[in-house]
Amino acid sequence: MQLINTVLGGLSQGMIFAAFALALVLIWQSTRIVNFAQAPMAMVTTFIALTLIQNGFSYWVGFAVALLSGFVLGALTERLIIRYVDHDNHINPVILTLGFFIVLHAVAAIVFGSDFRSFPAPFGLSGFQIGDTTLAITPNRVFTIVVVIIVMALLRLLFLKTDLGLTMRAAAFNQEVARILGVRVNRVLTLGWALAAVVGSLAGLLIAGGGLVHPSYMDGVVVYGFVAAVLGGLDSPTGAVVGGLLVGVTLALVSGYLGSGLVPLAALIVLVIVLLVRPGGLFSTSTERTV
């Protein structure tokens, strides 16, 4: 039973990593940028939701406003910051997102404070009971699993079955060619950042549910979510979910049987192995070409 509960706990935690990995996949597919500021952006919108809830609004009102805030924050980030950086060197936008990471942390600490604050959960936090055994999975974690699967399906539908998804991918790969074909690249890039921020905000809400939030509460998820995204492949929403589950279960087994102190090392080993064996990720569809 310990093994079952350890695996169930790993699957639940893996879905948390997958939620954040999906935001990284979306921003990568739509802009070809890894946004390391995704976590503090989600943190800010989560605090907006918490402020509303603590002022008498329902959880679902705060939930909806947080997603809307994420959309606006993502669009403004692209329009006011990212658009004016030199994209010829691909490292420049990444460095800028790291700087934005620090700025958002500082602003959030000033506006919302640095204290730990309890964030409500929409569903129960007690594990399901089977006879005398309590399983390490709760109704709230089931909600998380369902939401992540729905988001994964919607992202697959967006990028594989819709003209908008094709347009976003074209603008991300080659802006000049996309403009020649009539694509309004600037608008498409803004939309990509906005949608990615919505998914990031959703991840922040799922991670916060039933726990404590503070300006740094998502920092640890950045590492494991990034590992999950790389493991599955930055081009694959399905890969992000599978990668999150693999990382979650692996780290749960390491923590349960070898010690929690080895968890960061285990994550690093997983990342290194994937980069050595399959750099594009397990679900990568890109192939090498000899020129």
Q: List, for residues 238-273, the tens digit of each pLDDT value.
A: 888 998 999 989 988 888 888 878 888 888 888 888
pTM over 0.85: yes
pLDDT value at 212 more than 80: yes
pLDDT value at 181 more than 80: no
Domains in the chain, start-ordered, CATH in brackets? 1-277 (1.10.3470)
> How close are the terminal C-alpha atoms of the chain, in Å?
55
Q: List, for residues 27-57, the tens digit of each pLDDT value.
A: 888 888 888 899 999 999 999 999 999 999 9
Model pLDDT, residue 110: 93
Model pLDDT, residue 104: 93
Q: What is the CA radius of gyration of the chain?
A: 19
Q: What is the DSSP letter of 260?
A: G
Q: How confident is the model at residue 123 (pLDDT cuts 50, 70, 90)?
A: very high
CA distance 182 to 277: 39
Which are the contacts of 72, defined by CB distance < 8 A and separation ≥ 6? 194
pLDDT value at 5 more than 90: no
User: What are the Cα distances from residue 236, in Å, to 19, 24, 109, 205, 286?
Assistant: 13, 10, 34, 23, 11
Model pLDDT, residue 51: 95
Assigned token pair, 199: 């998914």
Q: What SS3 state is found at 134? A: strand
**Strand partners for 212:** 118
pLDDT value at 20 more than 70: yes
Q: Which of 69, 80, 137, 132 lies closest to 103 in space, CA to CA? A: 80
Model pLDDT, residue 12: 85
Q: What is the mean pLDDT of residues 147-163?
A: 90
Q: What is the mean pLDDT of residues 159-169?
A: 86
CA distance 38 to 100: 10
Q: Which of 127, 159, 161 lies closest to 142 in space, CA to CA? A: 127
Q: Which of 42, 88, 89 lies closest to 66 in space, CA to CA? A: 42
* φ and ψ of 117, to 5 deg: -130, 140
